Structure 1
Amino acid sequence: MTLVEALALLLIGSLAGFINVLSAGGSMLTLPLLMFMELPPQVANGTNRVSIALQSVSAVYHFVRAGAHHLGLSLRLALPAVAGSLAGAWLALRTGDALFEAILIVVMSGAALLMLLPQAPLDTRALTPARLTPAVYLAMFAIGLYGGFIQVGVGVLFIVVLYRMLRIDLAQVNVFKVLIVLIYTLPALALFVLNDQVRWGYGLLMAAGSMTGAWLAVKVNVSPRGALVVRWLTLAVIAAIILRLLLG
């Protein structure tokens, strides 16, 4: 690893950690970066989980210190996501590199388009156990399956389920999101580790940046203007990365 690569991991990791907590799409930056550093796609996919797990630890810790609640409900939502993530990681480990790269391009393009859709204001309300229907649990399993497989853009899916289906306000969505991601990422990461698909030096260096970015995001979690700026910045970088992937 060169000095330039180390600095890139710290910088992009910080930006991704900030984006993942406040909005969505951080892995659309980190996963291609690891691949551009000539890590095989599945190794990059596994290594990226190190950063995701540790930035989620940072975000959960700071959210709890800031007074976040409903953590018990987050745990209930996380259980089906864990089952899905194990299945998704198992599928990812059996996907060829060429197919994985093609899926990554399609997923990044689709997630970017979803991020462009306007978020119409909804009448939100506090989450109660009675509102956790079988349809919600099935949706959480699907998110875990997707996250275990590739993770890219998973925050967009949380917005669909938690904001659109359950009508939780967006600031609270971010709290639920980071705890659920932390819980389902750990078993998926373990599968990649057991299959020797993690490069710890790259992952821990990126995680150092992403944990800092996650801490900063918690500080501005209630700022709609900040989320808007982050979204457009993310989309600009994603467009450049998709072009780079298409050009090989």
Structure 2
Amino acid sequence: MVGVAAGWLNVMAGGGSLLTIPVMLFMGIPGPVANGTNRIAILAQNITAVTAFRRRGYSDFKLGFSLAAMASLGAIGGAMVGVKLDGVWFDRVLALVMVGVMILMATGHDKIKPTGGDSKPKNLFAGHLLMVAAGFWGGFIQIGVGFILMPILHKVLGLDLVRVNMHKVLIVLVYTILALGIFASNLELMWWIGISLAIGNSIGGWLGAHTTITHGEALIRRVLYLALSAFIIKLLFF
């Protein structure tokens, strides 16, 4: 059910991992294991997304893989840190990340406004360099990585929003393979939970794409704020 909710949330508002990782923590799964297990669902999601973009005629694998290669360098370092961040420190970092994401969502800074863009990239050197930092964050904890990748792709590289999302899912797919490998080689991941989340995410994503609710996103965000507030209090004080 959590996977379905996360997939639906990703389509309707974004931020599904904000639910899946805390829920796994409250199931008694250690922080790094939950962090790694979540990558199984992320991998499945982005395989589906890359396939969907390609079927619709959107693909630029030359640029996508070069950006992904740079992000992967950072992701390797981030994942190596992530596997060692255990116990109370993982809870504190996760709580701070959740607070940051709530602020971004409440102020509207989690969305990229359609201010134009092109299919031809610019500032390639700066864009590739920034991908290392984005990849580090993605390898480390993943939550909120879209808030880093999308401005780089849109504002720095100057891509239109369709291609921003096209490259984003490919970049996340590639570095997630490496990050998942590092987590799996260092920790005993909950593979069945990860696969269940992946299936749930797919179902939830389908439901979200086919559901029309008046002010649906606003309602979902209010519920998400309440859930995140409860998670943060639990992580910090109990």
Shorter-chain TM-score range: 0.7 to 0.9
- Deviation at residue 53 of structure 1 after TM alignment: 0.6
The TM-score, its normalising length taken from structure 1, stands at: 0.82
Q: Does 1:180 align with 2:154?
A: no
Paired with 2:218 and 2:62, the residues of 1 have a C-alpha distance of 30
Q: Residue 104 of structure 1 corresponds to which residue in structure 2?
A: 94
Higher mean Cα deviation, 173-182 or 68-77?
68-77
Paired with 1:231 and 1:172, the residues of 2 have a C-alpha distance of 26
Paired with 1:54 and 1:214, the residues of 2 have a C-alpha distance of 12
Paired with 1:173 and 1:229, the residues of 2 have a C-alpha distance of 26
* Structure 2 residue identity aligned to 1:100: F
Q: Does 1:126 align with 2:118?
A: yes
- Deviation at residue 45 of structure 1 after TM alignment: 0.9
The TM-score, its normalising length taken from structure 2, stands at: 0.85
Q: Which runs of 5+ in 2 are unaligned?
A: none
Q: How does 1:1-248 map to 2 (within 5 A)?
A: 11-20=1-10, 24-118=14-108, 119=111, 121-129=113-121, 131-215=122-206, 231-248=221-238
Paired with 1:196 and 1:73, the residues of 2 have a C-alpha distance of 33
- CA pair 38-55 structure 1, distance change in 2 beyond 3 A: same
Higher mean Cα deviation, 96-105 or 208-217?
208-217
* Structure 2 residue identity aligned to 1:69: S
- Deviation at residue 33 of structure 1 after TM alignment: 0.9
Higher mean Cα deviation, 142-151 or 189-198?
189-198
- CA pair 237-150 structure 1, distance change in 2 beyond 3 A: same
Contact 2:70 2:135 in 1 (8 A): yes
Backbone CA RMSD of aligned residues: 2.5
* Structure 1 residue identity aligned to 2:52: H
Q: Deviations over 1:56-97 (max 9, x none)?
A: 112222222233233432222111111111110001122232
Which secondary structure does the structure 2 equivalent of 1:246 belong to? helix
Q: Deviations over 1:104-123 (max 9, x none)?
A: 10111112212233357453
Which secondary structure does the structure 1 equivalent of 2:46 belong to? helix
Q: Residue 3 of structure 1 corresponds to which residue in structure 2?
A: none
Paired with 1:56 and 1:161, the residues of 2 have a C-alpha distance of 19
Contact 2:117 2:154 in 1 (8 A): no
